[in-house]
Structure 1
Amino acid sequence: MKKNIPDNIVYSENEGYNASFLPYSTSVGAPIIKVDDVAAWKGRGVRNVNKEFENKFQELKLEYDKLMEEFQWNEIIYNAKFSFEPVIGEIYHLYSHEKGHNFLSLIPPHEWNKEHLGTFHLNSDKKWVKID
């Protein structure tokens, strides 16, 4: 099949001369079609997303550590000896006994010469919250 039209002319058997309808340039003097370099954009995006994930992971890790500390204090207090029913909202003090067990008391540390482990109050969920 012989081509009668020069290469720099846009012609199609079906469409005819359709250069003005094409979404790209067709003449030799037109600006070049340049593909954007998206590798740099992707690299910045990956770094930003990874940083966001790392920050979120650190937040979750801190929250987990705090939760585990609360769990451990609650376990210690619920395993401690006390001979009264704690009242919600009251302040209690946890002490260590010479015999190796812990006990809960209403007596503050400045009024007693015992090894003070912490001051707590009981919230409405029956969870012990460390005050100091």
Structure 2
Amino acid sequence: MENKKPDNVVYTVEAGYNANVLPYATGVGAPVIRVDDVVSWKSRGIDNVNKELGNKFNELKLQYEKLMQEYEWNELVYSAKFSFEPVIGEIYHLYRDAEGVNFLSLIGPNEWNKEHIGTFKLNSDKKWILLNVVDSQLY
């Protein structure tokens, strides 16, 4: 019975009485050691990250769609028939003739009776900027 110590005394044969060097409380009056519930913290973190990544994905998707539209309009204008060198900063109009061939002109849509596809401006990067479109189904 001499070797038996009470439950509230921290004692080991190897270390002796070592309650003052332990990283946790050992007395009966010490606060309770509780393991934090990190599952809810993790799930909130995962939700926040998923929302942020989803928003970035949607933003990139919109940018991609806009880029593809710009590409398609530029391809349409550059494949159109014109016999002049377009000037940067000028406004041009894209038309479709009776045979279905697209052509570029300086003449505005209200000055003659041709099938108007859209109005474009050539920027310094030689990219056609769409200013307005009559019907987006035409291209």
TM-score (norm 1): 0.92
Matched, 1:99 2:87: no
How far has the Cα of 1:91 moved from its partner? 0.6
How far has the Cα of 1:14 moved from its partner? 4.4
Paired position in structure 2 for 1:122: 122
SS at match of 1:43: helix
Aligned equivalents of 1:103 and 1:49: distance in 2?
Answer: 49
1:64 alignment partner AA:
Y
How far has the Cα of 1:32 moved from its partner? 1.3
Paired position in structure 1 for 2:111: 111
How far has the Cα of 1:96 moved from its partner? 1.0
Q: How many pairs are equivalent? A: 131
Ranges in structure 1 where 5+ consecutive residues have no aligned partner: none
Matched, 1:35 2:35: yes
Aligned equivalents of 1:94 and 1:119: distance in 2?
Answer: 6
How far has the Cα of 1:25 moved from its partner? 1.2
Matches within 5 A, 1:69-80: 69-80=69-80
SS at match of 1:111: coil
Matches within 5 A, 1:11-90: 11-90=11-90
1:28 alignment partner AA:
V
Aligned equivalents of 1:54 and 1:19: distance in 2?
Answer: 51
SS at match of 1:110: coil
How far has the Cα of 1:29 moved from its partner? 2.7
Moved more, 10-19 or 116-125: 10-19
Ranges in structure 2 where 5+ consecutive residues have no aligned partner: 133-139
As a proportion of its length, which structure holds more helix?
1
How far has the Cα of 1:44 moved from its partner? 0.5
SS at match of 1:77: helix
Aligned equivalents of 1:57 and 1:3: distance in 2?
Answer: 68
Render the CA deviation track for 1:44-76: whole Å, top value 9, x for unaligned: 000010000110011000000000000000111
How far has the Cα of 1:24 moved from its partner? 0.9
